[in-house]
Amino acid sequence: MPSASSANRFEILPSNLPTAENIRESVLQNPGFGRYFTDHMAHVRWTVDADWHGHQVRPYGPLTLDPAAAVLHYGQEIFEGIKAYRHEDGSVWTFRPEKNAERLRRSARRLALPELSDEDFIGSIQALLAQDHAWVPTPKSDADECSLYLRPFMIASEAFLGVRPSHEVDYYVIASPAASYFKGGISPVSIWLSSTYKRAAAGGTGFAKCGGNYAASLAAQKEAEGHGCGQVAFLDAAENKWIEELGGMNLFFVYKDGRLVTPRLTDTILEGVTRNSVLTLAKDMGLTPEERPISIDEWREGAANGEISEVFACGTAAVITPVGELVTENERIRAQGESTEVAMRIRKTLLDIQYGRSEDKHGWLTRLV
Ligand code: COI
């Protein structure tokens, strides 16, 4: 079903200096993650008096911000992550953009920012892709997860140092060709369990996708890297017992009896679009999804007695990545046996839908170009 879009409201200001084709092609051969950006960006402005206006696609480039802009002082900022996929016939599609639009509004309410409509969210992506579709990489095989990663974000741009919601806000979408998020591709990632830091507490911003949550996770991420781990897992702040998420990814536990367990959503966990899709696909595949609290003891015991056969992380950027082990100050908990079979099966099912290789039974794809 086509999603409502305001793409035709965007004024197009084309770049005078687009990237040369041979340079773009060499970037697309090996884009890494988040390093290279396309030639344009979408922009919509909001003011307390004029609501959303000034829809534009204009050349990618530095922003001019007053040094007193509220975002620089009080972090009033939110963002999204969503991808554009090239199908075999050359067409370009995105995945469940209404879910991201809805989450952006949820984040906006928590950060006292204005809410952007589905039409403008999807319109901004469509208008940007109409200019920059040549930057969407073509997968080299069915296992290749290359895409154009889109980063919509919203910032408080009013020059005012009083602490109150900004009266001026800017929304942008930038785009970056991407290969796999982890340098090692889909090899199992080691996870550090932080005992020093917490990511979120009840009543806070954990469920919102705001820069502050990610800033607060960086010291823990540094600690993880110091212990040879690629990611950090956070426990709840109240009891230091319940598994929450990885900061930028949700966690799933595969039980050998066919249950697939993920922490239930609370206001301290970010609802991932991939998480939500995995729950649906798991059911289609005959697994039994369960959203419920899961404790670190259940992980430890389930890994030791073989009840838990696999653990994986998922997110838009990470897709689905098996977890190899959980590392703490005094133990290493193997996340799984030799198998990553269920994780890889769900991953393939998801990628096949996203790249148009299998039927889109749930109506999750929206055509961009
Ligand atoms: C995403 O998966 O899109 C995110 O925003 C996570 C980030 C760590 C790249």
Q: Which domain holds residue 276?
A: 189-354
| Same domain flag for 62 and 76 | yes
CA of 317 to the centre of ligand 1 (A): 5
Q: What is the pLDDT of residue 334?
A: 79
- Domain tally for the chain? 2
Which residue, 289, 304, 297, is CA-closest to 250? 289
Predicted confidence at residue 336, as pLDDT, reads 61
Residue 361 lies in a domain: no
Which residue is listed with tokens 């005959």? 286
pLDDT score for 58: 98
| Domain final position from 156, 183, 210 | 183
Q: Which ligand 1 atom is nearest residue 318's CA?
A: 2
| Co-location of 96 and 48 in the same domain | yes
Q: Which residues have a Cβ under 8 Å from the Cβ of 164 and sit 6 or more positions away?
A: none
Which pLDDT does position 222 carry in this prediction?
A: 96
Boundary residue ending a domain (134, 161, 183): 183
Ligand 1 centroid–CA 288 distance in Å is 26
Q: How far is CA 275 from the centre of its chain?
A: 10
How far is Cα 37 from Cα 23, in angstroms, rounded to an integer?
12
Candidate of 249, 270, 276, 320 to mutate for ligand 1, largest count of ligand atoms within 8 Å of Cβ: 249
Can you give the pLDDT at residue 84? Answer: 98
Q: Are 256 and 309 in contact (CB under 8 A)?
A: yes
Spacing, Cα 80 to ligand 1 middle (Å): 8
Last residue of a domain, one of 167, 183, 199: 183
338 in the same domain as 323:
yes
Average pLDDT per consecutive 10 residues, the chain (369 residues; last block may be shorter): 83 98 97 97 98 98 98 98 98 98 98 98 98 97 94 98 98 97 83 94 98 97 95 96 95 97 98 98 98 96 93 95 92 76 96 98 97
| CA 245 distance to own-chain centroid | 13
Same domain, 227 and 343: yes
Asked whether residue 210 falls in the same domain as residue 77, the answer is: no
Are 52 and 90 members of one domain? yes
Residue 140 and residue 214 share a domain: no
Q: How many Å lie between the centroid of ligand 1 and the Cα of residue 122?
A: 19
Q: Quick one: pLDDT at residue 292?
A: 98
3-state secondary structure of 85: strand
With 0.85 as the threshold, say if the pTM is over it.
yes
